[in-house]
Amino acid sequence: MLFSTAIVTHALIFIGRVLGRAIGRAVRGRRVAALVAALVAAPLAVAQSGAARSAAAQNPDDTFLAAREAFRVGNRERLAQLAERLRGHPLEMYADYWQLMLRRADAADADYEAFLARHDNSVLAERTRVEWLRALGKRRAWEQFDAVRPRVAYTEDLEVLCYSALARVMRKDEDGVREAMALWLTPRELPEGCAAMAEQLIAQSRLLDRHVWDRIRALADANQPAALKRTADYLPDSQALDLRQTDAAFNQPEAWLRRGVDLRTRAQRELALIAVGRLARSEPRDAAGWWTRLGKKPFTETEIQWGWAQIGYQAARRLLPEADDWFSHASEIQLSDEYLQWMARAGLRAGDWKLVARAIRDMTPELQRDPAWVYWLARSHKEAGRAEEARALFESIAPDFSFYGQLAAAEFGRPTVIPPVGHVPGKDEVAAIAQLPGFQRALILYRLGLRVDANREWVFSIRGLDDRALLAAAHFARERDLPDRAINTADKTRSVHDFTLRFLSPHADQVRPQAKSLALDDAWVYGLMRQESRFIMNAKSVAGASGLMQLMPATARWVAKKIGLADYHHGRVNDLDTNIALGTNYLKIVLDELHSHQALASAAYNAGPGRPRRWRDVKPMEAAIFAESIPFNETRDYVKKVISNAVFYQALFTGKPASIKDRLPPIPPRRADERGSDTP
């Protein structure tokens, strides 16, 4: 009978200790004792290593995780050994990919080609092509680059985009030049490929001093001082920035302005603009005072308007009423889409429909097509009496299953109606999806807790599927207890739908009685849960929120104490009943504190109850304008989606049409004597 690994290991430890002590005493020499200990430890280490390898060999999951760890620590030899054991395993391509990535610094084209020959049409093939394109661009192998680039279906990799633009700039392609100039303004550190692109633009006299200043301004806006200083290296000596003064203007803007500014040089004028913009981030009104005094000659008209644009932008993000006026002083310069969106929001809060229309008309065509800005441009036409133009725009988005699609439909008195189920996949259709390698890999990765990798596999696998196949994949996800994948997959259908999959309502026996006991609208509760966690029981956010209703530890403790939940500790936060009880009670508390207004309470659930109080106006406000002008991108998107979700859930639960307008009464005004809250 063979002894177990554990017994052998413990025996070796015991024998080693006894022999080490005995021989050490006998020779009374530390070196000999150390040698003996080493001799004993060597077979022990081998035994332990062998035990680990044996376990990995017996369990494919352990082998895969061990290979992943070997990649993480850069152990090529160990990874190669484990890769051999994964041959024939559904995840074997990961080990091959990791091996290639560990030697990508000296990988040959043949290495990339060999990987793609084995593992093409996969998410890792896409990532491999991106790495290969970086390598090809770096060595200017444009013929191969041009052959590989079209095979990457979609990439936002900045370096690949820059190399692609560089190749076109070198061919004097005017569209390539325009693409390169847009990439140059990306407000972040530029990787090697983008630096090469910039050098080529300079060599062709396409990238001029004014373009360098444009990038410096964008980087100042994005709070990127290090990248700003590196960009300043592209300036001619006559316009060079003094780095000490740059630091002072950036970090202590008001003190720098108080010292007195010599505005005779371009560099000093630009530093003054940076200082005014930086001051506006914290004190827009003080910045406006400084710019009223400074913003005249010798500044150019463009520089003067840029100063006001910065102040208007920062004021709009703080919901100051003066933002509308300050933006109006920047009416003749081209602004970024980010500035224009906040110009439109400032106009909405001020009721300045002309400014709203001007801002939207100046947006890039892609952004103009966003349902949000289609809706608000339609509203501006309606307010101006251009009814037919407004009607055409409303009609263009009314069929859209979104917050603004629902609002546009409501303009015609059309409530939200659940479309009929277009197709119920048969067992054979679902079984066919289950056999696809990408879905098989995803299931294993979900089982191993590697959700990010699993989601990538899933998203790649549903790309290009028609509506019926998407519904089959959504059914497959629901059967495998992957509610988030079921929802996200069903969401992608274009004409054949199943809203029972888009708007799953699991745990009804726990959620609906709890909502009823607290007099909460269950459609709204489900709308919020869908947005919070997509019904993943053990979901955990980067910030530390947990469970179906994504509770932060401090909030969960506070609510548990508030409702008298005995013996609560944070380990219980993912317990189904506990999470639902805590989340719904918190939702009830913020709803009661915020005038029973679902938009305000949704914002409070996401960003804390103090913020939506401050985001109101001193006069009543249209709820859609409140939602659109929320200063936090995440919360703005969240509130709109929660309300839209709730409308669909209401229609599903009642079997009757539902109107989004019913959930968006006017936002009550902010009062000076309004009591604060201790709610976290």
Pair 599, 605: CB distance under 8 Å: no
Count of residues making up the chain: 680
Three-class HEC string of 590-623: HHHHCCCCHHHHHHHHHHCCHHHHHHCCCCCECH
| Other CB atoms within 10 A of residue 245 CB | 17
| Other CB atoms within 10 A of residue 154 CB | 7
Nearest to 342 by CA among 626, 624, 628: 628
Report the alpha-carbon distance of residue 545 to residue 563 in Å, rounded.
Answer: 20
Break the chain down into helix, strand, coil percent, rounded to 5. 70, 0, 30
Q: Which residue has the tokens 């309470």?
A: 601
CA atoms within 13 A on the CB side of 437: 12
Report the alpha-carbon distance of residue 35 to residue 538 in Å, rounded.
Answer: 50
How wide is the angle at C-alpha 538 spanned by C-alphas 482 and 527, nearest 5°? 70
Verify whether residue 532 is a known catalytic residue. Answer: yes
DSSP annotation of 58 reads H
Q: Outline where 330-423 has alpha helix (H).
A: 337-350, 353-362, 365-368, 371-383, 387-397, 403-410
**Between 576-593 and 522-533, two packed helices, what is the crossing angle to 10 degrees?**
110
Pair 36, 19: CB distance under 8 Å: yes
Report the alpha-carbon distance of residue 206 to residue 101 in Å, rounded.
Answer: 36
**Radius of gyration (C-alpha) of the chain in whole angstroms:** 31
| Two structure tokens written together for 49 | 């290593």
Q: Which residue has the tokens 């990535």?
A: 101
| Two structure tokens written together for 338 | 């980010």
Pair 493, 469: CB distance under 8 Å: no
Report the alpha-carbon distance of residue 573 to residue 545 in Å, rounded.
Answer: 10
- Helix and strand numbers, DSSP H then E, in the chain: 39, 0
Nearest to 135 by CA among 114, 153, 112: 112
Three-class HEC string of 304-334: HHHHHHHHHHHHHHCCCCCHHHHHHCCCCCC
| Other CB atoms within 10 A of residue 143 CB | 9
DSSP string for 463-508:
TT--HHHHHHHHHHHHHTT-HHHHHHHHTT-SSS--HHHHT----H
| Two structure tokens written together for 31 | 């070196």
DSSP string for 438-466:
HHHHHHHHHHTT-HHHHHHHHHHHHTT--
Annotated catalytic residue: which of 159, 429, 532, 593?
Answer: 532
Would you please indicate which residues are annotated as catalytic (active-site) residues? 532
